[in-house]
Every structure is written in C-alpha cells, then in structure tokens.
Amino acid sequence: AQSVTQLGSHVSVSEGALVLLRCNYSSSVPPYLFWYVQYPNQGLQLLLKYTSAATLVKGINGFEAEFKKSETSFHLTKPSAHMSDAAEYFCAVSDRSSNTGKLIFGQGTTLQVKP
Amino acid sequence: EPEVTQTPSHQVTQMGQEVILRCVPISNHLYFYWYRQILGQKVEFLVSFYNNEISEKSEIFDDQFSVERPDGSNFTLKIRSTKLEDSAMYFCASRRDSSADTQYFGPGTRLTVL
C-alpha cells in the first residue's frame, strides 16, 4: 500500500531564508506526486505536481520540487521565504494505475515564517 | 476561474442526527471525491464517485455514509446517524479526467457533532 511521510510536523524559517519541506513516499511504482497548501480556514490549493518527464517541477508562488526516484523523495523548496508562505503544506500521492485517482496525504507540515 | 463550492461552511448537529453536506464540483469534471480532516490530523480519503456510482471507498466510509449526485450538478455526502467522532472538516474535490489531472478542492464544511 502507498504511504507518504512528511518529516517535520513544524518548520520555522526566517523571512528571506530557504524553505525546505521534506516528503518521502513508499510505493512499488513511482506514483503521481502533489504538493498542496492550506491557508487558515481555507481549502487545499495545488502548489505543483509531478506526473511524468521533468523531475524538477515548478509551481506557484516560487515553489519547486524535485522528484528523486532513488531516494523516493519529492521535497518542496523555495529560495526565499515570504511572510505570506506561512501555512500548512501537504504532500500527496496517487497511484498511476488507479482509475479512481484517490489522493493519499502525508501528515502535513506547518510552515512558520518569522520576520 | 471555476471552483468547487461547498455548503454549509459550518454545521453543528446533535449525535444521532442525519446531516447532508453539499458540494458543487467544477462543471466539466467527471470524478468526484470526499475527504475528511479530523482536527490536527491528516486529510483522509473517504470515497470517489464516477459515472454515477462509487468507484472506491475507504474503511471509514461505512454504512452510515452515502453519496449522491442527484441532479448532475450537486454532489452530496450524507451521514445517517452522526457520532462524536464524525466531527471533522469535510472536503469535496473534483477532477476532469485522467488520474494525472489536478484534484480541485472546495473550502470545506466543518462538522461539529455534540
């Protein structure tokens, strides 16, 4: 069965610092991979996704993620944090062979950005 | 930009009562989902719906739960007899076609069971 692990339930960075949120998956076949962001009292918004081809994926708001098959990882990065990046971030996977396309989520990482 | 909408935003109910959570998916989407997020926990898959039938459901989705697409527009989740542990944020999502397509989420309904 597929699973997703997000290392660090809470990450704190200073404004302007590098953001690194970690995600590892467990799957016999590389799945589709997604990062979603949840701002307070809002729904989930897609940041970026990996479905095939390019392993470095660029998303919205300056975020990007790199798929590394050898490490079964899909870590999310942003070179310079902004106060508005403070939110909950979820990594999710979807089985490529599944028609239903259900998402399996990690535990989430709360990003705090200090001034 | 089209979006998924959900009503109500907050529902308070007494244990044992029936609740219906409503969602309007994006109009040209074919796959529909319900997820839930208990406070402080991760988002969990409940059920997927395609071609007017359930395509997959999780262990959480027991006989107390049902889904319906009554009119080609709305997508509803019914909980027949609510329990305290059903208190959670419920998210509706939809996607157009391929499993590589993005799932778009609604803002959620916060269900509080007293």
A41 vs A61, A74, A87, B94, B109, CA distance in Å?
19, 26, 10, 20, 10
pLDDT at residue A28 in the model = 77
pLDDT in tens, A92-104: 999 888 878 899 9
On the question of pLDDT at A86 being above 90, the answer is: yes
What is the pLDDT at residue A50?
Answer: 92
Mutate to test the interface with B, among A100, A104, A109, A110 (most CBs of B within 10 A): A100
- Sheet architecture: strand order including B19-24: B5-7, B19-24, B75-79, B65-68
Contact state of B106 with A51 under an 8 Å Cβ cutoff: no
* Residue pair A112/A13 in contact by the 8 Å Cβ criterion: yes
What whole-number distance in Å separates Cα of residue A92 and Cα of residue B47?
16
Q: Is pLDDT at B76 greater than 80 in this prediction?
A: yes
Cβ neighbours of A49 in B, within 8 Å? 100, 102
Please judge whether B4 and A43 are an interchain contact, meaning their C-beta atoms are less than 8 angstroms apart: yes
Could you tell me which residues come within 8 angstroms of residue A53 by beta carbon, excluding any fewer than 6 positions away? none
| CB contact A63 to B (< 8 Å) | no
Q: Which of B31, B20, B44, B23 is nearest to B106 (CA)?
A: B23
Q: Is the pLDDT of residue B27 over 80?
A: yes
B114: tokens are 């007293």
- Of B29, B67, B20, B28, give the one whose Cα is nearest residue B48: B67
Looking up tokens 């479905």 gives A51
Question: Between A45, A46, A108, which is nearest B42 by CB?
Answer: A108
> What is the structure's pLDDT at A5?
95
pLDDT attached to residue A15: 97
Mark yes or no for CB contact A43/B91 under 8 Å: yes
Mean pLDDT lowest among A37-41, A61-65, B81-85: A37-41
Give residue B53's pLDDT band: very low, low, confident or very high (50, 70, 90): very high
Write out the E strands in A1-115: 3-5, 10-14, 19-21, 24-26, 32-38, 44-50, 56-58, 64-68, 73-78, 87-94, 104-105, 109-114
Nearest of B113, B90, B93 to residue B36 by alpha carbon = B90
**DSSP state, B7?**
E
Report d(CA A22, CA A115) in Å as an integer.
23
Label the pairing between strands A64-68 and A73-78. Answer: antiparallel
User: Closest approach of chain A CAs to the CA of B80, in angstroms?
Assistant: 24
Residue with tokens 């959620």: B108
Q: Is A96 on the interface with B (CB under 8 A)?
A: yes
